Amino acid sequence: MNKNQNYKKILLLTVTVLLLSFLIPTVSSIPTIEIDPESPKPEGTVTITATMTDISDIQEVVVFVEECQGDSCFRDTFNETMTLTDTDTYQTQITLQQGSATEMKYRIGYKTSTDWIWYPENLDDLIVVDLDTSTNGGENGNSEPADDDDEQSTPGFEILTLLISIIILILILRRKRKA
């Protein structure tokens, strides 16, 4: 009787392990992705490099790119084929089209003999790159000077705040004298 119970336990454990091995999805390798420049300018050229290690039977690699401004994205999207430049390394250059874009979103896809695999999998989880929308006079030819401060300042509005404070102070002092 004891041998029969051990046999049932071993059989149950073996069946459980086999079922779990079929139910657990296989995890594909995540590509290493580099963007050059790291913060591209709107309408600038971007080089995207993806290194795909531990992935066999790659037939094609593409990058899907969309340009966005806030929560809305432009209709023009890119679906560029990447070329093999080195062992397991694919690269492409893209020229961004929208001058008012503030961010670029992308994902990498590769085709194997069985299916297309995307990283990230969902279109809602695209990788976001903030675009460099600063206006530096020497770098992009704009006539505006480079601003070294993180805050943008508008001259003249500090004086308005100062005047309002002085008027309120005068009104408070007049009330105290009358009382």
pLDDT number for residue 179: 64
pLDDT digits (tens, 9 = 90+) for 130-169: 888 887 544 443 333 334 444 445 556 677 777 788 888 7
Cβ-based neighbours of 120, under 8 Å, separated by 6 or more: 107, 126, 127
pLDDT number for residue 20: 54
Q: Is the pTM of this model over 0.95?
A: no
Q: Of 62, 65, 140, give the one whose Cα is nearest residue 95.
A: 65
Residue 92 lies in a domain: yes
Residue 103 lies in a domain: yes
Residue 144 lies in a domain: no
Enclosing domain of residue 40:
32-133
CB 48 within 8 A of CB 92: yes
Residue 19 pLDDT class (50, 70, 90 cuts) = low
Location of structure tokens 């041998």: 3
Residue 5: strand, helix, or coil? helix
What sign does the dihedral 77-118-62-86 (CA atoms) show? positive
Q: How many domains does the chain have?
A: 1
pLDDT number for residue 93: 92
Average pLDDT estimate for 109-126: 83
pLDDT digits (tens, 9 = 90+) for 31-79: 888 888 888 999 899 999 988 877 777 888 999 999 998 888 888 888 8
Helix segments in 77-156, DSSP class H: 137-140
Cβ-based neighbours of 34, under 8 Å, separated by 6 or more: 48, 49, 50, 51
b (16+ CB within 10 A) / e for 10-43: eeeeeeeeeeeeeeeeeebeebebeeeeeebbbe
pLDDT digits (tens, 9 = 90+) for 80-99: 888 888 888 899 999 998 88
pLDDT number for residue 142: 37
Highest mean pLDDT among 6-15, 108-117, 149-158 belongs to 108-117
Residue 81 lies in a domain: yes
Residue 158 lies in a domain: no
Residue 73 lies in a domain: yes
CATH of the domain at 86: 2.60.40.1930
Residue 27 lies in a domain: no
Average pLDDT estimate for 8-13: 68
CB 59 within 8 A of CB 109: no
